[in-house]
Structure 1
Amino acid sequence: MTTAPSTTNTSLSANLLRATVDPMSFAFKTTASLEPLVGPFGQERAVEAIRLSSQMRHRRFNLYVHGAEGSGRHSTVLRLLEEEAALRPVPSDWVYLQNFSNPDQPLAISLPLGQGVKLRAAMARLAEDLVTHIPALLVSEDYQNRRTALEQEFAARHEAALEDLRNAAQAREVAIIKTPMGYSLAPMQAGEVVKPDVMAGLSDAARRQLDANVTATRDDLENFLLSLPELGRAESEAISELNAHMAGIAVNSAMSKITKTFAKVAALKPYFEALRADLIDKADLFLSLELSRAENPFPPGIAALRDDPRFNRYRVNVMVSQSKSERGAPVVVETLPSLSNLTGRIDYLSMQGALITDFTQIKPGALHRANGGFLVLDARRVLNEPHAWEGLKRCLETASVYVIADAERLGLTAAMTLEPQPIPLDVRVILIGDRMLHMLLSELDPDFDEFFRIAAEFGDDTRRSPETIMLFARMVATIVKKEGMRAMARDGVAALADAATRAAEDQEKISLRMNRIWDILREADHIAGQSKARVVKATHIAAAIAAADRRSGGPRERLQEMIARGGIMISTAGSTVGQVNGLTLAEIGDLRIGAPVRITARVRMGAGHVIDIEREAKLGGPLHSKAVLILSSYLATRYAIDVPFSLWASLVFEQTYGGVEGDSASLAELCSLMSALSEVPISQSFAVTGSVNQMGEVQPIGGINEKIEGFFDICVAQGLTGRQGVIIPKQNVVNLMLRADVVDAVAQSKFQIHAVSHVDEAVAQLTGLPAGERAQHGNFEDGTINANIEVRLLGFAEARAAYRAPADGTQLGPND
C-alpha cells in the first residue's frame, strides 16, 4: 500500500507561475538585423521524411503528412517540393489526337517540351490552308479540263454503246423508240414500222421471224440499260480518283511544312500518314465549306471552321503543355480533389436533342498537370469526394491516368462516350491530413500502405532553449519581411515567444502551431501602426492578446455574470462539509473557458456503493465513470480494510446540465467524499483540479492555465481576500504560463496556488487539519482527517452488522 507523503509546504512562489524570455538576452535590437530563417524549426524529422519522398524515384514512395493544424505543414511541404522540383527536368507535353481507324479511342501522344501548342497551331493552319487550296484546285482550269475529258470519254462510251445497239436493231429490222416511259421496240419492213393489220396478214413463219428479231433486240436493250449504272459508277470512280489526285496534291503541299516541322517526333509519323489519307478522303468537307461561303451573302471567315464540329477530327487537344521558360517539374495543389478534377473529364455537346462528344472534349485533371512532378492533396477532401480515392489508387497502381467519368462509374449516362488511351503517369502524391485519419487508412484500407510508404509527422511543440528561441526570432524576422510588416523590437520578440510557450502549455517547450502566433504578430503590427510606432513592442503584443481575449470573451463574461448574480452558486469564502469547488474546462472552437463548478458528496451506511449521479443520469462519459470507480477503490482499500466496506455515497456536479467527461475533477470529488466522511468542512476559498489513481497519487491534467484563471476571475469579482487559491497537481507546475495579473496577485499574497502530489496534501490544505498517517500500531493518528474517516467507516460497518444480525444472536463474519 502506498503511504501518503508527510505534510510539506505546497505553496508556489510567483516565479514558478510563468516562464519568460529576458529581452536583454537577445543581441539584436530589432528583427531588421536578423537573417531570415529558411524553413521551419523543430520539425527535422518531418523535413527528412518529405525530402526522402520527394527524392525517391520508386513510384510507391508517396507521402502522407500529418500534424496539428497551423503547424506549417502546407507551407513546408510546398517549399521543399519546389526545391526538389527545380532540380528535375520540365516534363513533356501530352496531346490527344483523332484516332482515324477507331474514333472512340483517341490517341495519347507525348511531344517534346512546348511542342503541343505548336502542333495545335500547325494543325489549325493546315485546315485553313486546305479550306483554300482544295476548292482552288477543284475549280482550276487543269481540273476542269481533266474532268471534262473524263465526262466526254464516258459520254462517248455511252453513245458508242447506244449506237451499236441501234445498228444491231436496224440490221434485224427492229425500231427502238424512246418514249416518256422508257424505250419500246417495233418490227420493221422496208424501213417502216409494221402496223398491226399488216402484221396479221403475214405468214406464221414471217411473224415468228419478226418476233425473234424483236426478242433479240430486247435482250440487247436490256444489256445496254444494265450497263448504264456500271458505266456511271465507273465515271464516278474516275472522277473520285481525279478529285483524290487533285486533293492529294493540295494535301501533300499543305502537309509538307507540318511534316518537316515535326519530322523528329517519331510518334507523329503514323498519325500523319493516317491524317493524309483522311484529308484526301474527306476533301469534300473543305469544298462544302467553300461552297457554303460562296452561297452565303454574309460568308463567314476562315475562323468559322473552328466552330464547325465536322473539323474537330483535325484539331489537337493539348492536355499538358509546358513552356521552355518554366523551370523544373510541376508542383500542383488541387483544393477540390473530385474524381473529374483528379483524372480529367469528358464533356458533352447537345446536338439535335442528343449528347455527343469527341476527343476535343477531353479535359485534363490534376494528375495530368502534375505528371512528372508532385501533386499535393488534402486527405480528408479526397476521401469525401465520391470515387476519388478509388480513382486515385487505380492511377497509382497502373502508373497511368485513366479519364474516368462519375456518371460512367454510376452507370447513369446513356450518351456515346470515349475510351481515351491512358497517359503514362510519373507523379509523387502528397496527402496532408491528421494523425487519426492516417491511422484509420492504415488500419482499414489494405492498399494504403502499398502506395504511401512514408509518413511525415509535424510535431506540436519543440524544446525551449536559447537556440530555439533564437531560431524563433529569425522566423519572426522572416514573416515580418515576407508580409511587409514593421520590424519587431526584442522585447516584442520575447513577449511573442512567451505567447508561444503558453500555447505549448509547457514552460520548457515552445509551440510549433505557428498560425495562432502569427495572428498575434499581425494584430500587434496593426496596433503599432495605429499608434504610429516604428517597431512592434511587447506592449503591442500584450494589447493584441488582450484584444483577442476581449473579442472572444462573451461566453466567459456571461458565465461570470451568472455566478455574480447567484444563478450559478459558487462560494469563494466560508467552509462546508462535503462540498468543494472543482475546475472545469469548456472548449468552443479555439476558445477555452475555465470555470469553477460546485461538487458535493453525501454519505451514509450502505453496501459499499459510490453512486455517480452523472452516470446514472446518463450525463457522465466513460472516463468520468472510470474516475469515480477509482475513488471507490481507493476508499475501500485504504480505510477499515478488515471489515466490510459499508458505505453508500453519492457524487454530483451541481448545476450542470450537459455531459461531464474526463477525470480531471476526481481529486476534487475525492476531497469532497473525505470531507463528508470525516465531517470536517472544506474551505470554499479554494478550487481543486487534478486526477487521482488507486493509490491516492495526484496525476496531471490539461487546461491548467485556463482553469486557474477562470477561478481567479471569479475571486476578483467577489473580492480577493488573500485566502483564495487553487490546488493543482505538482506535475502541472511545468505547464504554468499564467497571465501577468494572476502572477502579480500571487506575488502580493492576494492569491494562492498550491501544488500537491497526493490527495492527503490536498485535503489537509482544504480543511486546515493534517491528513494523518498510520502509526506502527496500524491506526491513523488521532485528530486527523484519515482517522476520522476510518472511525466513521468502522461505525458504518458495525451498524450494518447489527442491522443484519440473526435473531439467534450469532455473529456474522467480515464478508457476510
Structure 2
Amino acid sequence: MHATALAPEQLRLTISPASLGFASTAELHDQSLPWIGQERAEAAAHFGLALEHPNYNLFVLGELGSGRVSLLLQAMRQAAAQRAVPPDLCYLHHFDQPERPRALRLPAGQGRVLRQGMEQFARTLQGDIPKRLDGADFRSESERIDKAYQAQEAQAFAALDALAESLHFRLTREEGHMVFTLLGAQGEPLTEDEARALTREQRAAIDAAEQRLRAEIARFLDAMRPLERQRDEAFAQLRRQVVRPLIDHALQEVRSSLRKQIKDTMKIGKWLDRVRQQVLDRLDLFTPAQAGDEGGEERKAQLETLLARCHVNLVVDNADLTSAPVLTEDNPQLRSLFGSIDYQADDDAVSADVSSIHAGSLLKAHGGFLLLHLRDLLGNEGLWERMRRFLRCGRLQIEEGASAHGAVVGAALQPEAVDVDVKLVLIGSVEEYYALQEGDPEVAQRFRVKVDFAESFSASAASRHASSVFIARACQRFGLPHFGADAVARVIEQTHREADDQARQSALFGHTEALVIEAAALCRARGASMVAAQDVQAALQARTERHNYPEQRLHESIADGERLLALHGAHVGQINALTQIDLGDYRFGFPVRITARTYAGQEGLINIEREVEMSGPIHDKGVLILHSYLTALFGHLAPLALNASIVFEQEYSGVEGDSASCAELYALLSSLSGLPLAQGIAVTGALNQHGEVLPVGGINEKIEGWFKTCEAAGLNGTQGALIPARNQRHLMLEPRIVEAVRQGRFHLWSVSHVAEGIALLTGQPPGIHTDGRPAEPDSVAARAALQLRAYRRACQAAAHARARPGPRLRSFTNPQDPMA
C-alpha cells in the first residue's frame, strides 16, 4: 500500500481556447441564452408557470448569484406571452352606501374608455346644463310658472290685506316676514301717547283683532306652502324636461363607447342609471349664479362633490399591455402589495372618497405573475399574516384604516373585495423553504411547484458553449469589450475552481458576471480592445488582494516565528494539518500543527479542544471515529491501557470539521510507535471506522495555503501535501503550484487508506492490513503494539502495587480501642 504521487496534469483542468470554436465572443451575440446547467429547474418553472390551477404557485430555491431571479423573470415573460391581457379594474362610487365603493372589471382598455367618457360627461354637464337653464325658452316658461304663482299669492295676500285694514292694521312684507302695525283714527300708525290714552275696553278689542289677524296670517302661509311646492316642482320638472335629453345623450355616448360583451354589463348599467338620477335630482346646482347670490359658493362645492361621485377611479389600467403582466415587488409593504387608501386630514378629521383608492401589486398582477422574496415578507409580521389570508381565500380587499393617519373618521372606506388570479413566484433559500414546510404547512401547500436551482452542474462541450454565450451577452448588456477565446477559457476554468471540481462547473453565474466586468475594466485600463486571459488572471489576483489581508497576517506570523511550525525534518507525535478559514467573502487555507502524547493509563483518548469546549460537533465526531478505529486496530490487545491527548497547537478560535482526523491518527501512531513524521508533508483527510480516507472540502485552498507557507520559507523539493484520493477530481490549483510540481520543487500524494499515508510520512511499512494479516516486525503497527503492551504491563504493575497490604498501625495509648 503506497501513496500515489500526482502528476502535474492531474492538478488542474486546462481548457484549450481552440476547443471553444470561436475567436471572440463577438461571434456569439446573436445566440439565445439557455438555462445553463439548470435543466431540472427549467422544467419545473415552465411546468408551474403554465399550470392554471390554484395553489400551484412557485417556490424557487437557490443560492444568490445562481440566476434564479433573472431566469425566472425570463420564464415568466415567456409564459405571460401565451396568456391574454387581463381586464382593467375600476372603483365606482356607491350612491346607497358611500363607504363601500363598487369594484368593476372591464376588458383591457375599456376602463380608460369609461373613465374618459365620464370625464367628458362631467364636462358636458358643467358646460351645457347652465346654458340650457339660461336659454330663452327655459326663462320664458320659468317666468310663466313664477307669474302664475305670483298671481295666486297676490290674490290671497290682497284678501289678507283687506282683512288687516278692516281690523285697523297695516300689513307689510319685510325680508320674507309678515309685519303689521296698529293704525289710529286718522289711518296713521298709533303713537305712544295715543296708545297710553286707550281705555281698557279699546285695548281688549285691539288684542282680539290682533289675534284674529295672526290666525289669518298663519292660514295664509299654510295656503302658500303647497303653492310654493307646486311652483318648485314645476321648476324642477321644467329643468328635467329641458336637461334630460342632454343627460341621456351624454350617457348614451358613454354606453356606446363600451364593448357590448362585458361581463359586468348589468353592474355598469345600474351605476349609470344611478348617475343619471343623481344629476336629475340636483339640477338646481347647475343654475347659473346670480349677482349677490350668497349661496353660490356652497352650491359650487356641492356641485363638485356630485361630479366627483361620477368619477371612475381606474386603479388597474392594462390598455398598454400586449400579454399578461409580469411584476416584481422588491420592497413589499402593506400599501404597495395590497393597495392603499389616501385619507385627507381636515380639522382633526379625515375623509376619503372613491378617488382615494390605489391598487397594489397583487391587483396589478391579476391574470399574470408576481415575483417576491420570502425574506422580505417574513420581515414584516403584519404583511405575512395578510399574505396568508390572501392565499387562503384568493380575494383581496383594500382595507387600510383611517386610524393609521392619526385622526378620527366617521366611517372608513371598505372597497368591494375582488377575486385575484395571480401566479406567485416566491424566492427563498433551501433553509427558508424547509422552515416554511415545517412551520407553516398551510402556506407551503399553496406553493406546490418547487424550482430547485443547482449550485453546480456537469461540464460538457455544450455547457462551455453556453457559458461562452453568457459572457458574450454580459459584454453586450454592459457595453464591455469582447473576450478572446483564451479569456473565455480562463473564465470557464474559474467556474470549475468555484465548484472545486474538474468535471463540474459552478452555477453561480453572478460571480462569473462580476469577473467579466472586472476583467474588462483591466483590459480597458491597459488600452486593449479585447479581453485576454491575462486580464482575467489579473482580475482574480486583484480580487484576492482586496480580501486576503487576514491570510497575509497569519502567514506573516509564521515567518516571524510567532506560530511554531516545522517545515523540515521529522518529529515524533507532531504533524502539520491543513485547515480552511472561511470569512464569508473570502476563504483560504492555513496549516496548523497537531501534536499527540501517549502514556500508560486507563482514561483513553482525550480531545483537548473538546475538553475546553473549543471544538464543534463534527470535529468531536471525527475524534470519536478515530478512537473507534484505533481500538479496532489494536483490538487483540484489549483492553487498551492507554492515556492519549490530541491538541491543535496555537489555535484559539475553535475547531470544527473532521478533515483533520487522519492527521490526528498519524500523530497518535507516531507517538505510540516512536517513529517520527516528515514535517514537510502536510495532511488533510477525514477517517471512517475502517481506516478509509474520505474526501474533504476546500481542498484547493488548503493546498495553496501550505504551498505559500513552504514557498515563503524556501521550497527544497521534499515538501508537499497528502490528500484523499477521492479529492483528486476536485483539484483546480493555481498554475504556479502546477509548475512547481512539474519542476519537482513541490509534491502532491493521494491515499485511499490511512496505511498508505503513515507509510509515506514515516518511511516504514504500515503493518496495517485490511485482510487481517498480522503486522510485519518493525512496522508502524507492530511498534505501536509493543508500546501498548508495555503500557499494559506498567498499569498492571501499578495495580499490584496498590493492592499489596502494608504494615498496620496500632495504638498503644488505648489498648482497649477496638480500632487498634
Q: Which interval holds the TM-score relative to the shorter structure?
A: 0.7 to 0.9
Counterparts in 2 of 1:128 and 1:655: CA distance versus 1, 3 Å: same
Matched to 1:342, the amino acid is: L
Task: Tell me how far apart the structure 2 counterparts of residues 274 and 598 of structure 1 sit (CA, whole Å).
Answer: 89
Task: Tell me how far apart the structure 2 counterparts of residues 487 and 223 of structure 1 sit (CA, whole Å).
Answer: 102
Task: Tell me how far apart the structure 1 counterparts of residues 290 and 154 of structure 2 sit (CA, whole Å).
Answer: 33
Aligned length: 789
Conserved? CA contact 1:151–1:235, under 8 Å: yes
- Counterpart mapping for 1:64-463 below 5 A: 64-165=59-160, 174-178=167-171, 219-228=215-224, 231-246=227-242, 248=244, 250-262=246-258, 264=260, 266=265, 267-286=267-286, 311-324=307-320, 326-405=321-400, 414-415=408-409, 416-463=411-458
Task: Tell me how far apart the structure 2 counterparts of residues 558 and 388 of structure 1 sit (CA, whole Å).
Answer: 47
Task: Tell me how far apart the structure 1 counterparts of residues 127 and 106 of structure 2 sit (CA, whole Å).
Answer: 29
Task: Tell me how far apart the structure 1 counterparts of residues 292 and 556 of structure 2 sit (CA, whole Å).
Answer: 84
Q: Percent identity?
A: 34
Matched to 2:48, the amino acid is: S
Task: Tell me how far apart the structure 1 counterparts of residues 630 and 457 of structure 2 sit (CA, whole Å).
Answer: 40
Task: Select 1:471's aligned residue among 450, 453, 466.
Answer: 466
Greater shift, 508-517 or 711-720, is seen at 508-517
Conserved? CA contact 2:618–2:658, under 8 Å: yes
Task: Tell me how far apart the structure 1 counterparts of residues 272 and 304 of structure 2 sit (CA, whole Å).
Answer: 22
Greater shift, 767-776 or 524-533, is seen at 767-776
Counterparts in 2 of 1:284 and 1:724: CA distance versus 1, 3 Å: farther
Aligned match of 1:30: 24
Conserved? CA contact 2:350–2:402, under 8 Å: no
The alignment's TM-score, normalised by the length of structure 1, stands at: 0.87
Task: Tell me how far apart the structure 1 counterparts of residues 471 and 270 of structure 2 sit (CA, whole Å).
Answer: 60
Conserved? CA contact 1:131–1:287, under 8 Å: no
For residues 669-700 of structure 1, the C-alpha deviation after alignment (integer angstroms, 9 at most, x for no partner) is 22222222223222221211111122222111
1:41 aligns to 2:31 (yes or no): no
Aligned match of 1:684: 679
Aligned match of 1:814: none
Aligned match of 2:520: 525
Task: Tell me how far apart the structure 1 counterparts of residues 248 and 290 of structure 2 sit (CA, whole Å).
Answer: 22
Matched to 2:270, the amino acid is: P
Task: Tell me how far apart the structure 2 counterparts of residues 330 and 292 of structure 1 sit (CA, whole Å).
Answer: 55
Secondary structure at 2:426's aligned position in 1? strand
Task: Select 1:743's aligned residue among 738, 747, 766.
Answer: 738
Counterparts in 2 of 1:221 and 1:292: CA distance versus 1, 3 Å: closer
Task: Tell me how far apart the structure 2 counterparts of residues 183 and 478 of structure 1 sit (CA, whole Å).
Answer: 95
Aligned match of 1:507: 502
Counterparts in 2 of 1:225 and 1:702: CA distance versus 1, 3 Å: same
Secondary structure at 1:60's aligned position in 2? coil
Counterparts in 2 of 1:674 and 1:268: CA distance versus 1, 3 Å: same
Secondary structure at 1:451's aligned position in 2? coil
Counterparts in 2 of 1:105 and 1:550: CA distance versus 1, 3 Å: same
Task: Select 2:575's aligned residue among 558, 575, 580.
Answer: 580
Matched to 2:695, the amino acid is: P
Conserved? CA contact 2:348–2:408, under 8 Å: no
Conserved? CA contact 2:63–2:508, under 8 Å: yes
Q: CA deviation at 1:806?
A: 7.5
Task: Tell me how far apart the structure 2 counterparts of residues 198 and 592 of structure 1 sit (CA, whole Å).
Answer: 121
For residues 605-624 of structure 1, the C-alpha deviation after alignment (integer angstroms, 9 at most, x for no partner) is 33333222222322211111
Q: CA deviation at 1:470?
A: 3.3
Aligned match of 2:809: none
Task: Tell me how far apart the structure 1 counterparts of residues 401 and 149 of structure 2 sit (CA, whole Å).
Answer: 58
1:708 aligns to 2:703 (yes or no): yes
Matched to 1:643, the amino acid is: A
Secondary structure at 2:591's aligned position in 1? strand
Matched to 1:277, the amino acid is: Q
Q: CA deviation at 1:292?
A: 11
Greater shift, 483-492 or 567-576, is seen at 483-492
Secondary structure at 2:800's aligned position in 1? coil
Task: Tell me how far apart the structure 2 counterparts of residues 305 and 229 of structure 1 sit (CA, whole Å).
Answer: 28
Conserved? CA contact 1:37–1:475, under 8 Å: no
For residues 704-749 of structure 1, the C-alpha deviation after alignment (integer angstroms, 9 at most, x for no partner) is 0011001101110010011111111111011001111111111111
Aligned match of 1:647: 642
Greater shift, 208-217 or 572-581, is seen at 208-217
1:718 aligns to 2:713 (yes or no): yes
Conserved? CA contact 1:608–1:645, under 8 Å: no
The alignment's TM-score, normalised by the length of structure 2, stands at: 0.87
Task: Tell me how far apart the structure 1 counterparts of residues 405 and 433 of structure 2 sit (CA, whole Å).
Answer: 32
Aligned match of 2:811: none
Secondary structure at 1:543's aligned position in 2? helix
Counterparts in 2 of 1:623 and 1:292: CA distance versus 1, 3 Å: farther
Conserved? CA contact 1:686–1:766, under 8 Å: yes
For structure 1, the 5+ residue unaligned runs are 1-6, 811-816
For structure 2, the 5+ residue unaligned runs are 806-820
1:769 aligns to 2:764 (yes or no): yes
Aligned match of 1:13: 7
Counterparts in 2 of 1:209 and 1:295: CA distance versus 1, 3 Å: closer
Counterparts in 2 of 1:424 and 1:549: CA distance versus 1, 3 Å: same
Q: CA deviation at 1:656?
A: 2.1
Task: Tell me how far apart the structure 1 counterparts of residues 242 and 585 of structure 2 sit (CA, whole Å).
Answer: 78
Secondary structure at 1:375's aligned position in 2? strand
Secondary structure at 1:781's aligned position in 2? coil
Task: Tell me how far apart the structure 2 counterparts of residues 63 and 649 of structure 1 sit (CA, whole Å).
Answer: 55
Matched to 1:628, the amino acid is: V
Secondary structure at 1:645's aligned position in 2? coil
Aligned match of 1:4: none
Counterparts in 2 of 1:772 and 1:287: CA distance versus 1, 3 Å: farther
